[in-house]
A and B are shown apart, each in its own frame.
Chain A
Amino acid sequence: MSVVSTPATLKHAAGMIDDAEARRIRNDFPILNQQVNGSPLVYLDSGATSQNPLCVLEAEQEFYEQRNAAVHRGAHMLAVSATDAFENARETVAGFINAGMDEVVWTSNATEAINLVAYAFSNASAGRGGDAASRFVLGPGDELVVTEMEHHANLIPWQELAFRTGATLRYIPVDDAGALRLDEAEQIIGPRTKVVAFTHASNVLGTINPVGTLVRLAREAGAAVVLDACQSVPHMAVDVKALDVDFAAFSGHKMLGPTGIGVLYGKAELLNAMPPFLTGGSMITTVTMEKADYLPSPQRFEAGTQRISQAVALAAAVDYLRETGMDRIHAWEAELGQRLVAGLEAIDGVRVLGPAAGAERIGLAAFDVDGVHAHDVGQFLDDKGIAVRVGHHCAQPLHRRLGLVATTRASTYLYNTTDDVDAFLDAVAGVRPFFGAN
């Protein structure tokens, strides 16, 4: 194997992350070292997609230079080497979330992972999967429960599943501060509930949801729990066994990995009882002209040629995160998140969504600027080299609930510094004067 550069963090992985360390980390990310519109790039859009450290880019290149071949097929040396790299990557990611090797299914992204689960229910309801899949059968009278703060990726697959099966979709509302109404959840989750799907951390509000409470309610109801872990797995230590969820979904591109790869975690016993979603080559045992038998998980859900280099690169990203330390990353981003919110709250005409300064939140903040549309805010910030997200952040129902159409979101990651946050706050303070919104 070729030499892959040692991440700067390896040499400094002790104590809390501070600005000096964040700057060293930043140096591992080639893309961050550039000017935008004459200013150094301030990248505050990692909630949408994160950037890749050099070691991840190198891992992908090394794979293509030395190991590229189809996996789980062919007897030649490269095929063996590629299969090893692919399965080692699975082991790395499984270890990262405390899952078994057969409990990590590669998908294109979190969206596909959630659809995989929804379609397993759908296919079971259409009679596929036999007795083993009977617990996934849905019909009129059954209920699927989501929350009002879901990303569309964890909402629309359940809406469609309800349409296809006749089940009813219900949702747990949020209060004005953006917290889930747990009193309502207790009423809503009951004997009819078959699925409870919710986000671990909100990509808009920054809240971290009480997984334990919701899992307990789901268990009492005998419902399956699907966790959208897109904004948690990249930013904090997540142990799927300790959380006791049935399924969890996350995307590689939000955790320093490449696009095109995501993960579905599922309890092995459930995955092996589920009918497949995508079908075709590489996921079968015996095929006749009439029917096919399927491999167990994870191959059962990995039809066709897989995202091999992406899996390898994602494993390199996981190694980088692990070496840096998820608890350190979480603590640093919590600090940046508090700085963001406190700073935004101090600016006239700015309303921050979700918990107020001082209350727990992940390292992001979405906000409304009175009298200035989010699109204009984003344009103004971009002019200063500051990259943020504008719009509804794929959470239209949540925005509607909060009486808004579009907001601006700044989201941090391990490579951001307090200077980044301050440059951003400084720029936001100039928005209303510029647009004459005073």
Chain B
Amino acid sequence: MMAKNRISLEINGEAVEADVRPNRLLSDFLRDDLALTGTKRGCETGVCGACSVLVDGDVVKSCLSLAIQMNGCSLTTVEGLACDGAPSPLQKSFMECGGLQCGYCTPGFLMAASDLLARTSRPDVATIRKNLSGNLCRCTGYQGIVDAILDASEKMHGT
């Protein structure tokens, strides 16, 4: 058995201390050790984006990251987006504009969209599509997702 290392980090605003093996994937650490199963596994090779989380504000694919690298970082997973348990404006827009169907890709798209909207308050369609290129959705044809992000940016940042 490989020795474990202690890491301290912040996840969704809460301090977390854990002992992890150096080869523990961040996605497995979140899902299996911390039961944060909102983060999904879709490809485990960095292509589908279902495992995306925010690390210090940037989108990171947790299937390509090691838990041990997160020492001292601040993470947001899909579970951390809600406001007092209720959907955030972005989550609401996904619900109302057909931004999700089966929902499996949704946490990843929410992360990519959060990151985009934090950097660009009123992105145009081309910018949105470009920024979603690291995420795959097989259900929506992306139209509902693009509509949802436009709707959210309008509601969050005015017309």
Whether A associates with B in a native complex is no
